[in-house]
Amino acid sequence: MTDRLVDSFGRVHDYLRISLTDRCNLRCVYCMPADGMEFQPLDEILTYEEITAVVKTAAQLGVRRLRLTGGEPLVRKDIEALISELSAIPGIEDIALTTNGIYLAQKAEALKKAGVTRVNISLDTMKPDRFAMITRGGDLKRVLDAIDASFAVGFAPIKLNVVLMKGYNDDEIDDFLRLTLDKAIHVRFIEYMPIGHDDDGWRDKYLSLSTVTERAVALGMPPMKTENVFGNGPSEDFRLPNARGSIGLIHPVSEHFCGNCNRLRLTADGNLKPCLYWVDELNIRPLIGDEQAMRDLFFKALKIKPENHEMAQALERQAQSHIPTNRRMSQIGG
């Protein structure tokens, strides 16, 4: 089938991550600077009509799963209208949302009705003061309320994204592990990545996720591999003995997951991005309305997609084969 999105390494791409905005209501230490962040002018951000047009083309090429990200996607007005349009596109089977949770409790029911099936909520600490420090002003209670609201409306699965940072939250690993015992919640530990950093400061916070499994064993709860957690991403999933939920390890630096990569990214300003880490981007916005040109650009993006992202080499200060992006995670969409 010639219309399938298959790259030069035989990887089938059926998953598109869409950044709705580069703006956010928080300033997490690993994502944005405290100040001085320059945002895209609003007229350079894709409209909902443009996003829908790109997704229609992607669906014709075999994309079945979408993830809406940011920045913070819930700062976009009337996001439910976009989700309703996307969920009605033939071929789209799954729409997930990644959010910091601040606005989620008040929007959860409307998002569910519009077509969101599941959510990933960023939660790097369960200590209120520490949460305010990491997010530079966020209110932990609003995120905890968002988790409760997600259960209430029936999002499934509900995943918590925990960026593990040495000296910031590594003393809470045990607490996050225990969280999965009694609740059907899925905690995903994510290694600190060198995305958009122009210095070596990220290395000071980096911690291999082998620490997580070591803590589970030390607690007398050796993790067991599981394949029962629905998702599109690169998480290596485990369950603790008799746990209702699960833990997931996303380790792009210590063990890259590129061999089974199935995703492309659409940035908020209209660029197709084949790989999270490298600088390569292709602007699709000028082509919207020209169906064949958009299809051709999807295939061009696959043609330039490298085999892997080489973040491990960045950690070791080794030479890399491509140029890393200078965009922040909030500008790419993760």
Question: Crossing angle, helix 128-135 and helix 140-153, to 10 degrees?
Answer: 100
pTM: 0.91
Q: Taking all residues of the chain, what is their mean pLDDT, rounded to a whole number? A: 89
> Looking at residue 1, what is its pLDDT?
39
What is the percentage of the chain residues whose pLDDT exceeds 90? 70
> Looking at residue 318, what is its pLDDT?
53
> Looking at residue 32, what is its pLDDT?
81
- Across 111-125, 180-194, 224-238, least confident range: 224-238
- Across 211-215, 219-223, 239-243, 278-282, least confident range: 278-282
Per-residue pLDDT, averaged over 57-82, amounts to 97
Pairwise pLDDT comparison (192 vs 139), residue with the higher score: 139
CATH number 3.20.20.70 given to 15-332 = yes
Phi, psi of 121 (to 5 degrees): -115, 125
Contacts of 311 (CB under 8 A, 6+ apart): 193, 194, 252, 253, 256, 277
What is the C-alpha to C-alpha distance for residues 148 and 160, in angstroms, rounded to an integer? 12
- HEC profile for 105-143? HHHHHHHHHHCCCEEEEECCCCCHHHHHHHHCCCCHHHH
Q: State yes or no: pLDDT of 228 exceeds 60.
A: yes
* Confidence bin at 181 (pLDDT 50/70/90): very high
Q: What is the secondary structure of 197-264 as a DSSP string?
A: -SSSTHHHH---THHHHHHHHHTT---EE---S--SS--EEEE-TT-SSEEEEE-TTTS--GGG--EE
> Looking at residue 36, what is its pLDDT?
75
Per-residue pLDDT, averaged over 1-25, amounts to 89
> Looking at residue 133, what is its pLDDT?
96
What is the per-residue pLDDT across 310-331, written as a single tens digit (0 to 9) for each? Answer: 555 554 455 555 666 667 667 7
